[in-house]
């Protein structure tokens, strides 16, 4: 009888544990609530388990004390997608998820294309909507067109298949993104697939993108399943080793990592990863970082990889975003035209003080700007990059406001050092692009709860966007921004 009772008690216990596990979705992290729309556990707060790099906004600088501003110039867009995801999920915005320059750089603008260089530079001036005493000065950068078809490529898909990647918005979206990317590749391009979870695995090694090869690649990524812990450091090691094995001289060699950034086995310290990825960047292997998922996302880690690995960084919050990044902007995502790009802006006595809006984590010294060996940002083909300053004019007869210099290495010319200079004057014209950018910037300052938001308001942003109806036209992304402003206004009005 005692044995029978013990067996019955054991069976009941096992059944209860099974039901408990099923009710929790089989997740290792039982915290948070469950989103039926996206199929992943998340915390319904701005904090949750998301980890963003801490941002300390730059204060105004007096021209009399510090006339020059230097920063690394890149075109990451992840922050805009993070903001969109949080708003669409009805969450309060985590302030450190808002990097204003990435929100501005998400969109395309009508900046003049470069002539005989990899980069073209233009400038614009307008009143500051949230501070009537100040002006906005925009430096607009446009890169040259360099199509992927002009050279052979060696790509390594590095895909996170750990347990945290389970779900249609994580591994499911990663698979769809890699399928879209594979369809866009040339017949002579070579693709390898490396995965990492508790360990690492080379799923495919150097498959050419013929019709049959593309089927092989798609089948491989479709058969991936998520489980285990996250040995991201080991995955990076194998991915770069694989890229070296198939290295194409004068070709496009790139590692494409898709992850939520939740490295929890092996190398995961940010300083250690920074040193590691900087060393790998010296191999002339570029990096594209694609973030997915919400709930335990390590944006700080993914941004560190992109910033220090000759890389770019986008966050895929939907299939539409995957379409934008991996199809519509494919050349810009995978083809670097300007390496180690950095900007230097020196103001004259016509300006009393200035503040660079955004790029808070990308400030460099004058010495780094002048040093051609300094690692800085990478910009892809046919893309727009903006740098926006809020300035206060001084009482002066000087008509020149600032001198702008963009320094970079022209990849098409064998990474030859180049620079482009432009002068900004008091009669520099405004533009509809600047009017729209001012809306994005004000929106970002509000979401960041910035100390420099002045008289900013969602209502003011919406009103100016309504006046730009013809400019926005049928641009789906700018139209979506109008919708997001409306959602934010409703959320923060409650």
Task: Give ranges for CATH 3.40.50.410 in the chain.
Answer: 151-334
Domain 151-334, classified CATH 3.20.10.10, yes or no: no
What letter would DSSP give residue 475?
-
pLDDT of 487: 94
From residue 275, alpha-carbon distances to 304, 395, 488 in Å are: 10, 47, 38
Q: CA 418 to CA 414: how far, in whole Å?
A: 11
Which 8-state DSSP code applies to residue 144? P
* Torsion (CA) 201, 205, 207, 213 in degrees, nearest 10: -30
Distance CA 176, CA 174 (A): 6
Per the CB < 8 A criterion, the answer to whether 409 and 376 are in contact is no
Spell out the residues 6+ positions from residue 401 whose beta carbon is closer than 8 angstroms to its own.
125, 137, 347, 348, 350, 351, 391, 393, 424, 425, 426, 428
Distance CA 366, CA 172 (A): 45
pLDDT in tens, the chain (494 residues): 434 444 444 443 433 433 333 333 333 332 222 232 333 233 333 344 567 888 999 999 999 999 999 999 999 999 999 999 999 988 889 999 999 999 999 999 999 999 889 999 999 999 999 999 999 999 999 999 987 877 889 999 999 998 889 888 899 999 999 999 999 999 999 999 999 888 899 999 999 999 999 999 999 999 999 887 777 788 899 999 999 999 999 889 999 999 987 776 555 567 877 888 888 888 889 999 999 987 677 888 889 889 888 889 999 999 999 999 999 999 999 999 999 999 999 999 999 999 999 999 999 999 999 999 999 999 999 999 999 999 999 999 999 999 999 999 999 888 899 999 999 999 999 999 999 999 999 999 999 999 999 999 999 999 999 999 999 999 999 999 999 999 999 888 75
Residue 148: phi and psi, rounded to 5, are -60, -30
The reported pLDDT for the residue numbered 267 is 58
CA distance to 206, 294, 375, 381, per residue, from 155 (Å): 9, 26, 22, 17
By CB atoms closer than 10 A (0-12, 13-18, 19+), residue 159 is buried
3 state SS of 451: coil
Which element (helix H / strand E) includes 421?
Answer: strand 416-425
Residue ranges of the chain assigned to CATH 2.60.40.1230: 61-146+337-493
Angle, helices 476-493 vs 432-447, to 10°: value is: 30
Closest C-alpha among 138, 139, 105, 112 to residue 435: 138
Q: Kindly calculate the radius of gyration of the chain based on its CA atoms and give it in whole angstroms.
A: 24
Tallying the residues shown for the chain, one arrives at: 494
- Helices of type H across 329-475: 330-334, 366-370, 432-447, 458-467, 469-472
3-class DSSP state of 119: strand
CATH 2.60.40.1230 applies to domain 61-146+337-493: yes
Closest to 324 in 3D by CA, of 143, 177, 151: 177
């Amino acid at each position: 009888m005692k044995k029978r009772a013990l067996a019955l008690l054991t069976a009941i216990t096992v059944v209860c544990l099974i039901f408990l596990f099923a009710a929790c979705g089989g997740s290792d992290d039982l915290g948070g609530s469950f989103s039926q729309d996206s199929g992943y556990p998340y915390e319904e707060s701005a904090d949750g388990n998301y980890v963003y790099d801490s941002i300390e906004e730059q204060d105004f600088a007096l021209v009399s004390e510090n006339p020059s501003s230097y920063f690394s110039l890149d075109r990451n867009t992840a922050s805009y997608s993070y903001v969109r995801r949080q708003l669409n999920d009805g969450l309060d915005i985590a302030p450190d998820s808002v990097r204003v320059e990435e929100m501005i750089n998400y969109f395309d603008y009508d900046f003049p294309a470069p002539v005989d260089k990899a980069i073209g530079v233009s400038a614009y001036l307008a009143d500051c909507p949230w501070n009537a005493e100040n002006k906005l000065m925009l430096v607009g950068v446009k890169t040259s067109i360099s199509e992927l078809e002009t050279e052979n490529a060696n790509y390594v898909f590095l895909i996170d298949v750990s347990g945290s990647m389970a779900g249609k918005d994580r591994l499911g979206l990663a698979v769809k993104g890699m399928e879209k990317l594979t369809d866009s590749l040339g017949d002579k391009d070579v693709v390898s697939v490396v995965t990492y979870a508790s360990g690492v695995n080379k799923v495919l090694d150097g498959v050419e993108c013929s019709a049959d090869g593309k089927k092989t690649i798609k089948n491989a990524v479709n058969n991936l399943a998520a489980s285990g812990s996250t040995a991201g450091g080991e995955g990076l090691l194998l991915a770069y080793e694989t890229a070296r094995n198939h290295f194409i001289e004068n070709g496009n060699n790139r590692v494409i990592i898709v992850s939520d950034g939740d490295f929890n086995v092996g190398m995961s310290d940010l300083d250690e990863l920074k040193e590691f990825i900087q060393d790998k960047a010296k191999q002339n292997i570029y990096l594209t970082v694609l973030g997915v998922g919400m709930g335990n996302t390590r944006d700080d880690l993914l941004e560190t990889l992109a910033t220090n690995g000759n890389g770019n960084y986008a966050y895929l919050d939907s299939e539409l975003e995957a379409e934008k990044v991996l199809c519509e902007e494919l050349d810009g995502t995978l083809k670097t035209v300007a390496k180690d790009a950095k900007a230097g802006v020196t103001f004259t006595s016509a300006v009393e003080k200035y503040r660079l809006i955004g790029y808070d984590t990308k400030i460099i010294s004058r010495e780094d700007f002048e040093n051609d060996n300094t690692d800085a940002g990478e910009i892809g083909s046919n893309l727009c990059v903006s740098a926006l300053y809020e300035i206060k004019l001084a009482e002066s007869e000087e008509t020149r406001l600032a001198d702008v210099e963009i320094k970079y290495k022209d990849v098409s010319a064998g990474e030859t050092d180049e620079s482009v200079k432009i002068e900004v004057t008091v009669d520099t014209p405004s533009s509809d692009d600047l009017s729209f950018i001012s809306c994005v910037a004000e929106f970002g300052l509000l979401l960041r709860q910035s100390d420099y938001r002045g008289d900013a308001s969602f209502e003011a942003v919406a009103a100016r966007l309504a006046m730009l109806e013809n400019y926005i036209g049928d641009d789906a992304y700018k139209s979506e921004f109008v919708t997001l402003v409306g959602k934010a206004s409703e959320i923060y009005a409650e």
